[in-house]
Amino acid sequence: MTTNRGRKTLLLALSAAAVAGAALTGGGATAAAATAGAAGLTWGDCAPAVRPLPGQQCATLSVPLDYADPHGEQIGLAVSRLPSTRPEARRGTLMVIPGGPGSSGVQRLAQKGAALAKETAGAYDLVAFDPRGIGGSAKASCGLDEADRWMMTLRSWPDADGGIGENVARSKRVAEACARNGGAMLRGLTTANQVRDLERLRQALGERRLSAWSVSYGTYVAAAYAEKYPHRTDRWVLDSSNDPDPRRVARGWLEGMARGAEDRMPDFAAWAAHPDRADAGLRLAERPEDVRGVLMDLAARLDREPHASVVPGAPGEPVKAGPPLTGSMLLQAFHLALYSDGYFPAFAQLVTEALDPEGRPVLPRELAGALPDDAAAITVGVICNDVNWPGSVPAYERAVAKDRARYPLTAGMPANITPCSFWKGGAVEKPVRITDRGPSNILMIQNLRDPSTPYANGLRMRAALGERARLVSVDHGGHGVYLGNGNACGDAAVTRYLTEGVRPSGDVLCR
């Protein structure tokens, strides 16, 4: 039987890694507790929804809705900080830049702030903000129907036979709804605006330069900021980078997930075949090389005959009937489980229950219901506004067929059509090109087997930055490295750079 802890672990994985922009309210300071702060920000107590750490403060930053009209309509961004508790050791502000697009910086600070403060020993005020469209910041809306806001519909999984007709129809429908209902707020959801907002925050904080720890999509934001404002950067960390090719950007990131799943598969296979899993009923095969077959055979069976499922009820309530578990849904859950070794048990339990004709696989809520409309808007808004996507349906059909054959673990989803192919007006601005021009103050860190930002794509960021960067490669699987996977060598390299300013003399490998 699965444990409540195991189910909760996978649920957290899906929440953090896959459901971009999960709605949070009250990211700014509560008015009653507000106190005057430096350089125009007013700091106060954080709203309870933030689940703040002791000492964590919140504020609201006003920025232009449209930077082409800087004195026009203004919107509010939720900002949060953990002030240094050792003023004598403080050397500046360290920005915590989250992933996504669609992750909350305020929430990431609440989750990682204590560990980061301990590692940096009071050297920084730790600051983060919710990008526009996210959490406690101003929201956008596409007015999507509920059926178009499920994870399994926002991610374009082909039909069981590889057909994409339904994906095409839905992508058109979503693009049309966003064009009809999104307005200026939706069009303002871009990486370029997040960079501008970060610069506004630097000014409001009164800092001459910023340091940063960026993760996943946040590394692209950080790299773009360093490109536009190179002399405003101090100690700059990129954790789990992707390919910054300006011709492709998010399209290339999505396609990379197919390679990432293959890179990561051996880790799960070794875990799922280990004899230690037998007592818990989670051993899926006797040999690692047989685990893939178990998974793919089950996915094919579920596409032919979906399995009845249940979903958790509200706290204190029993489980209730959920949507049928399909092969695509199983593979989506698998890819998300690859983000951390800690998510393996819950996914193995899902497989075990689905293999049993009488089993009752319990789906995480994220696979069994619709996202809020603002979360769906940010999910598509940034990636569609940042770069133009091809619009040829036959070209996508060919790409999906090729990708399914080469990378069966993701069944063609990463190469499939999205609403961006029908986006009204195309890209908002020309994407930034990341170059090697600027100060040599960037430290990159990357897992060798990352399911979301594969190592090969991280190397492309490394090549673009040239002598500006050093790369710490970590012989580990999963997404996110620093303070995330327990690799002492990798953690020590980042901590030493942030606290002492010392990088490796060249690229290094942590085993």
247-269 tens-digit pLDDT: 999 999 999 999 999 999 999 99
pLDDT band, very low/low/confident/very high, at 205 (cuts 50, 70, 90): very high
pLDDT digits (tens, 9 = 90+) for 431-463: 999 999 999 999 999 999 999 999 999 999 999
d(CA 338, CA 476): 12
> Considering the chain, what percentage of its residues have pLDDT values greater than 70?
92
Q: What angle do CA 362, 368, 374 make, to 5 degrees?
A: 145
**Mean per-residue pLDDT for 294-306?**
97
- Return the pLDDT at 14: 36
What are the b/e assignments for 403-433, b being 16+ CB within 10 Å? bbeebbbbbbbbbbbbbbbbbeeebbeebbe
- Return the pLDDT at 333: 94
pLDDT band, very low/low/confident/very high, at 365 (cuts 50, 70, 90): confident
pLDDT band, very low/low/confident/very high, at 9 (cuts 50, 70, 90): very low
- Return the pLDDT at 119: 97
Bridging pattern class, strands 35-36 and 320-321: unpaired
d(CA 187, CA 204): 25
- Return the pLDDT at 288: 98
- Return the pLDDT at 366: 73
**Mean per-residue pLDDT for 156-172?**
97
- Return the pLDDT at 318: 80
* 344-355 vs 250-272: helix crossing angle, rounded to 10: 70
**Mean per-residue pLDDT for 202-210?**
97
- Return the pLDDT at 29: 46
**Mean per-residue pLDDT for 348-369?**
90
* Phi and psi at residue 202, to the nearest 5°: -55, -45
- Return the pLDDT at 368: 79
**Is the predicted pLDDT of residue 147 greater than 70, yes or no?**
yes
- Return the pLDDT at 313: 74
- Return the pLDDT at 3: 45
pLDDT digits (tens, 9 = 90+) for 24-83: 333 444 433 333 333 479 999 999 988 899 999 999 999 999 999 999 999 999 999 999
**Is the predicted pLDDT of residue 2 greater than 50, yes or no?**
no
pLDDT digits (tens, 9 = 90+) for 332-345: 999 999 999 999 99
d(CA 80, CA 27): 8
- Return the pLDDT at 235: 98
One-letter amino acid for residue 165 of the chain: G
* 250-272 vs 288-304: helix crossing angle, rounded to 10: 120
**Mean per-residue pLDDT for 112-121?**
97
d(CA 176, CA 420): 11
Instruction: Please state, in angstroms and as integers, the Cα–Cα distance from residue 356 to each residue in 122, 307, 347, following that order.
Output: 53, 9, 15
pLDDT band, very low/low/confident/very high, at 317 (cuts 50, 70, 90): confident
**Mean per-residue pLDDT for 279-307?**
97
What are the residues facing 215 on neighbouring strands?
239
- Return the pLDDT at 362: 87
- Return the pLDDT at 252: 95
Q: What is the mean pLDDT of the chain?
A: 91
- Return the pLDDT at 10: 41
Domains by residue range for the chain, with CATH: 31-139+190-246+435-510 (3.40.50.1820), 146-186+372-422 (no CATH), 260-367 (no CATH)
Q: How many CB atoms lie within 10 A of CB 187?
A: 20
